[in-house]
Structure 1
Amino acid sequence: MESWHPIARVYHPLTAGSIDGTDTRPHDRAVERAIKASYVPPSVDNDPHLTLFVARLNPETTEKTLRKTFSKYGDIKQVNLIRDVVTGFSKQYAFIEFEEERSARRARAEADQSVIEEHIVFVDWECEHTLDGWIPRRLGGGLGGKKESGQLRFGGRDRPFRKPIVVQAIRDRGIERDRDGGIERDRDGGIDRSRDRGVDRDRDSGIRDKDREIERDRGRENRDRDRENRDRDRGIERDRDRGIDRDRDREIERDRVNDFNNN
C-alpha cells in the first residue's frame, strides 16, 4: 500500500489493464498482445518533458487555433497536429511543445477539460518518451480507452487507479479456537480462518437469497399466468352462456310469434 499511487510511474500493460493495478492475469486479449509486444519509441526532435498531449479535439481544429489557444500559457516552440497520412484529416489529437517547463505545467493544470471549438479537451504530459515501458494503444497498451470497447486502461490522468482494498490477516499465534465457532487458530501462520468462513457464509447466503428471489419470481410468473388463463376461461364461459341465453330468447320469441299467427 505504501508504494500505491493513482498515476502510473512505470508503464506495464497488465497493470494498466487493472482498475486498481493489482491484476495478475490479463482480462482481455489486447493486454496479452501488449505484454508480448516489443516497442521502441521513435526518435523526436522535441523535448518530451516540455511537450503536452492534447486529445478529443474538434475535427475542424487547426494548428493555428491550438497555437493561439495555448500561447496564453507561455511561449510555444512547436505544434504538431496528427493527421491521417492518406486523407489528411485530423485524428483529433496533437502534441504541443513549450519553451519553458513552467509554461507546460501551467497549461497542463489549466487547459485540461477546457473547451476548444465546442469540444472538451484532455491535456496531459506526453507519455511515449517519458513513461518507461510504454506500449501504444495500437499494440494493446496506452491509457484511457472507451467503455464501449471493453478495453479500458487505467493509471493515467483521465482514469487513475482506484485504491485497492487490502484485508490483513490476523497473525496472532496465541488465539485459540472458540468452541462456539467464533475463531480458529492457524498453526502454520496464525491466520484467522473465521473471517474466511464468514466470507464463505456471506457468499453462500447471497447465493441462497438470489436462488430464493429467482424462485419467488418464477412462482409469481406462474401465478400470474394461471390467473390470466382462469380469467380467459371465465371470459369464454361467460360468452358461451350469453350465447346460449340469446339462442333461448330467440326460440321463445319465435314460439310466441307462431302462436300468435296460428290464433
Structure 2
Amino acid sequence: MVDWSPIAKVYEPLKAGSIDGTDVEPHDRAVWRAMGARYKPNKGVRGDPLLTLFVARLNPQTTEDKVYQVFSKYGDIQQLRLVRDIVTGFSKGYAFIEYKEERSVVRARRDANKLVVDQHEVFVDFEQERSLKGWVPRRLGGGQGGKKESGQLRFGGRDRPFRKPINLGMGPGQKRGAGGRDWDDRDRHRGSDWGSRGRRDDRDRRRERDDRRHDEGIRTGDDPKH
C-alpha cells in the first residue's frame, strides 16, 4: 500500500475500470475492448506533451478565439487546437493548449479547472495520450471519463480518482483462520454470536419437541409431563 496513488501513474484498463484499482475481472465489455486494443499515440501531434493541457466539456459554440482569450491569462500560449469533426466541422467540445513555460501549465491546470466558459463548466488536466504509458482512448473502451448511465465508469484520473482500497494485510490482533482467512476481533465476536444463536436454536427446538409430545399425550390420555 506504500506506492498507492489516487491518480494512475500507468494506464491499465482493468484498474481504470475499478473504483479502487483492485478488480481482477472486467465489469463491462468496454474494458475487454481496451485490454485488447493496440493503440499508439498520434504521431502527427506536434508540441511538448509536458507543456500541453487537455480542456474538455467546452460549449459546442465556444470558438478558438474564446478559448485563447480565457487561457492566455495563465501564460504565453505556443499553440491551441480546438478539435472539430472532420466531416461537419463542428466542435467536439475539447481542445489542447500548449504553453511556452511549465509554470503556465501548472497554473492553468490548478486555476482553470471547473471554470465556467460560455455557460459550461470546463474540465482541465494535463495531456495524457503521450505522457501516460499504456493510454487507451475512450473510443476504444479506455479513457478516464464516462457517464454512470452507460455503466462505463473509469477511475484513476483527476476527475474521478481511485478510492483507497481496504487494507487486507495482517495487522495487530489478527490471526490466520482456516482456509487462509484472516480473523480479527470483530470476526471472533461475530463467531461467538453465532455460537450463542446456535444454542438458542437448540433450546427452541427442544421446547417445540416437548410441546408436541405434551399435545400428543393429551390426545391419547397419557401426558408425558405427568
Say whether the fold is shared (TM-score over 0.5).
yes
2:130 partner letter: H
**What is aligned with 1:168?**
169
Following TM superposition, the consecutive aligned residue runs of length 4 or more in structure 1 with deviations greater than 3 angstroms are 167-172, 184-202
Q: Judge conservation of contact 1:74–1:103 (CA < 8 Å) in 2.
A: yes
Report the Cα offset of residue 192 of structure 1: 3.2
- Larger of the two Rg values belongs to structure: 1
Report the Cα offset of residue 197 of structure 1: 7.1
**What is aligned with 2:208?**
none
Structure 2 residue matching 1:96: 3-state secondary structure: strand
List gaps (5 residues or longer) in structure 2. 194-226
Greater relative contact order (Cα < 8 A, sep 6+): 2
CA gap 1:58/1:185 in 2 versus in 1, 3 angstroms: closer
Q: Judge conservation of contact 1:20–1:162 (CA < 8 Å) in 2.
A: yes
Q: Judge conservation of contact 1:170–1:192 (CA < 8 Å) in 2.
A: no
**What is aligned with 1:221?**
none
Normalised to the residue count of structure 2, the TM-score between the two structures is 0.78
Q: Judge conservation of contact 1:80–1:96 (CA < 8 Å) in 2.
A: yes
Deviations 1:69-94 (A, max 9, x none): 11100000111000011111100000
Higher helix share: 1
**What is aligned with 2:14?**
14
Report the Cα offset of residue 42 of structure 1: 1.2
Hey, what's the Cα distance between the residues in 1 that align with 2:144 and 2:182?
38
Q: How many aligned positions are there?
A: 193
**What is aligned with 2:53?**
52
2:66 partner letter: T
CA gap 1:170/1:69 in 2 versus in 1, 3 angstroms: closer
Matches within 5 A, 1:38-49: 38-43=38-43, 44-49=45-50
Question: Identity percentage over the alignment?
Answer: 62
Q: Judge conservation of contact 1:79–1:95 (CA < 8 Å) in 2.
A: yes
Matches within 5 A, 1:30-179: 30-43=30-43, 44-169=45-170
Hey, what's the Cα distance between the residues in 2 that align with 1:92 and 1:77?
20
**RMSD of Structure 2 on Structure 1 (CA):** 2.7
Normalised to the residue count of structure 1, the TM-score between the two structures is 0.67
Per mean C-alpha deviation after superposition, the further-off stretch among 189-198 and 27-36 is: 189-198
CA gap 1:153/1:200 in 2 versus in 1, 3 angstroms: farther
CA gap 1:196/1:49 in 2 versus in 1, 3 angstroms: same
Hey, what's the Cα distance between the residues in 2 that align with 1:12 and 1:130?
14
CA gap 1:165/1:76 in 2 versus in 1, 3 angstroms: same
CA gap 1:191/1:120 in 2 versus in 1, 3 angstroms: closer
